[in-house]
Amino acid sequence: MEYAGRYAPSPTGRQHLGNARTALLAWLDARAQRGRFVLRIEDLDPGRARRLYETTVLEDLRWLGIDWDEGPDRGGPHGPYRQSERHDRYAEVLARLPTYPCSCTRKELRLTASAPHGIEPVYPATCRDRPPSPARPLALRWRTPAGEAVAHDRFLGRLHQDVAREIGDVVLQRGDGAYAYQLAVVVDDAAMGITDVVRGADLWSSTPRQVWLQRALGLPTPRYTHVPLVLGPDGDKLSKRHGAPEMVGLRRAGVDGARVVALLARSANLCGPAVRRVRPRELVDDFDWARLTEPGATHVLDLDGLRA
């Protein structure tokens, strides 16, 4: 099957260098495979998504030299490419799954949910068999079937989870009507023919839920690559504390995008330590995921190198 990859940012803020590295790696994999690359805007949350941030994402990517074949600005055969314009598709799929309304408040969930198995509290199925309180906004939960969801990740290996037991019945639509990320991403990856999902390692824990939904819906499971997160100069996960500039700030300060690409590529061992400027297309021919696990890949951003 022809390779199709995607970058799927949520336009809820300005992009930082970690986002840029994920985008670069997803793009490189797609281009190295002579594949299609989709830009999908995940503006599901009406309270947080802003069109201004979407515009900024597109400008950031262009400045870096990352292009896309399908996206909100240029259309394509699998559009629309904004999740806010795909609600009818999510509604249709949601109607095919066994769900029930849930009126639990956040506070109730905090009090009743337990977290014995993992990082997220398990929903105790409070509303599964009781009539929900009509006075409250209702979320929709999937009667999540028992069994083990298994996915394979290029870096993390076998990911597995008994979603029903370790997460509980998954929310597919929130009380305010917003569709859940887990549902939208599964619907869209399938509808857009995505064969390869490359995204940040912080999202790995969503993958078994997505695989479980794909199975329930009879949809194919893409290949997954959760890329290591970038680190600050002290080796900790990159954060504001490190003073890492946002992309838009670098752009407006007149920094050459090729310098930023070189910084990102050096951290991933995709170019030599002496390379100061490089365009993404110059990295395509030698791109190889194996380089990210060699000792040269520090995943540390040389922020001083950027300023110098």
Question: Active-site residue numbers?
Answer: 240
Least distance to ligand GLU, CB of residue 194, Å: 10
Nearest 5°: CA angle at 250, between 245 and 253? 130
Of 6-14, 84-92, 96-104, 140-148, the window that binds ligand GLU (rule: CB under 6 A) is 6-14
Number of residues that bind ligand GLU (CB under 6 A): 7
Kindly list the distances between the CA atom of residue 83 and the CA atoms of 8, 213, 267, in Å, as whole numbers in the listed order.
10, 18, 32
- State which of residues 8, 171, 238, 292 lies at the interface with ligand GLU (CB under 6 A): 8
Question: Which of these segments, 4-12, 116-124, 129-137, 249-257, binds ligand GLU (CB under 6 A)?
Answer: 4-12
How near is the Cβ of 131 to ligand GLU at its closest, in Å? 35
Give the interface segment with ligand GLU, choosing from 7-15, 53-61, 152-160, 172-180 (CB under 6 A): 7-15
CB of residue 95 vs ligand GLU: minimum separation in angstroms?
23
Query: Should residue 169 be labelled a site residue for ligand GLU when binding is judged by CB under 6 A?
Result: no
Which residue reads 């993992």 in tokens?
118
Query: Would you count residue 9 as binding ligand GLU (CB under 6 A)?
Result: yes
| Residue 41, helix vs strand vs coil | strand
Is residue 245 within 8 A of residue 232, CB to CB? The reply is: no
**Rounded CA gap, 255 and 252, in Å?**
7
Work out whether 60 is an interface residue with ligand GLU (CB under 6 A): no
- The amino acid at 1: M
**Interface mask toward ligand GLU for 14-43; x: CB under 6 A:** ----------------------------x-
Residues 6 or more apart whose Cβ sits within 8 Å of residue 87: 179
B/e letters for 137-156, b = 16+ CB within 10 Å, e = fewer, are ebbbbbebeeeebebebbee
Q: Taking the complex as a whole, how short is the minimal distance between the CB of residue 278 and ligand GLU, in angstroms?
A: 25
Among 140, 167, 185, 227, binds ligand GLU (CB under 6 A): 185
Q: List the structure tokens of 185.
A: 């991403």
Helix axes 51-64, 17-32, angle to 10 degrees: 60
The answer to whether 302 and 275 are in contact (CB under 8 A) is: no
Give the residue with the Cβ less far from ligand GLU, 107 or 240: 240
The candidate with the shortest Cα–Cα distance to 113, out of 124, 101, 100, is 124
Minimum distance from CB of 6 to ligand GLU (Å)?
A: 7
Binding mask 191-210 for ligand GLU (x = CB under 6 A): --------x---x-------
Residues at the site binding ligand GLU, with contacts judged by CB under 6 A: 8-10, 42, 185, 199, 203
